[in-house]
Amino acid sequence: MTTDGFDPAALVDEVAVATQQVLDSAERLSPERLAGESLLPGWSRAHVLTHLARNADALGNLVHWAATGVRTPMYPSPEAREAGIAAGAQRPGEEIVADLRAASARLNEGLLSLSPTAWGAKLTGNDGREFSAETIPYKRIRELYVHHVDLAAGWTPAHWPGDFATRELFDVAASFRGRPDTVPLLLHDEDSGRRLTIGPEELAPVAMVAGRRRTLLAWLIGRTGGDGLVMDPPGALPPLPAWT
């Protein structure tokens, strides 16, 4: 374990578990279901699985950057990212699943090889924001858990581990805080009693939205319409801007 409670081995183990869960779902998909629509507009389930494979490679580029100090962007360009997903989604199902398995194994190997110094390396994403290499496993865990839901193969927000839902609810709410395109709201997590605000910080919340942690998170990231959430004062849930 490194300082501040960061435990790379535990996080890599969580990545491996989440990866296997996705692979188990993928292997049960018939060719017809693989070509069917996912929860992401314009993407089939094959697109989702191909994206997860290419994301593993992209995060592997960041691992290489952290290990060597050689600047290695996730993707050459947004256009190259989209083209790779579109082309890869046309392959036979067995090839798509095998690709995801191999790409995930490469990422796992790279993560396990990082030294304590490399974990502290500062990197830059395609959006220009700087972050520490320590966040790479978190980024992969998020991709796996969220896109497993998008696969529309029986895995839902109710399957999200509690620790993941807690961490993500806090982080996602923080990403909406201060955004002028977000209605100012107070979120009440009924599981913990915690309250979080979103929207412009200079404006008072116009309402409170209460519900279970996973339900709040799924609504914030656009994976549900908010069924199970309660508004106070009563009314329809306001629309939210895109999460990312």
Distances (CA, A) of 71 to 29, 80, 120, 125: 38, 18, 15, 11
Per-residue buried b or exposed e for 162-177, using 16+ beta carbons within 10 Å of the residue's own CB:
eebbbebbeebbeebe
Q: Which pTM value belongs to this model?
A: 0.94
pLDDT in tens, the chain (244 residues): 344 567 888 999 999 999 999 999 999 999 999 999 999 999 999 999 999 999 999 999 999 999 999 999 999 998 999 999 999 999 999 999 999 999 999 999 999 999 999 999 999 987 888 999 999 999 999 999 999 999 999 999 999 999 999 999 999 999 999 999 999 999 999 999 999 999 999 999 999 999 999 999 999 999 999 999 999 999 999 999 999 7
Helix (H) or strand (E) holding 57: helix 45-68
- What are the residues facing 188 on neighbouring strands? 195, 210
Rounded Cα gap, residues 8 and 13, in angstroms: 9
Query: CB-based burial of residue 144 (10 Å sphere; 0-12 exposed, 13-18 middle, 19+ buried)?
Result: buried
Backbone dihedral angles phi then psi of residue 166, each to the nearest 5 degrees? -65, -50
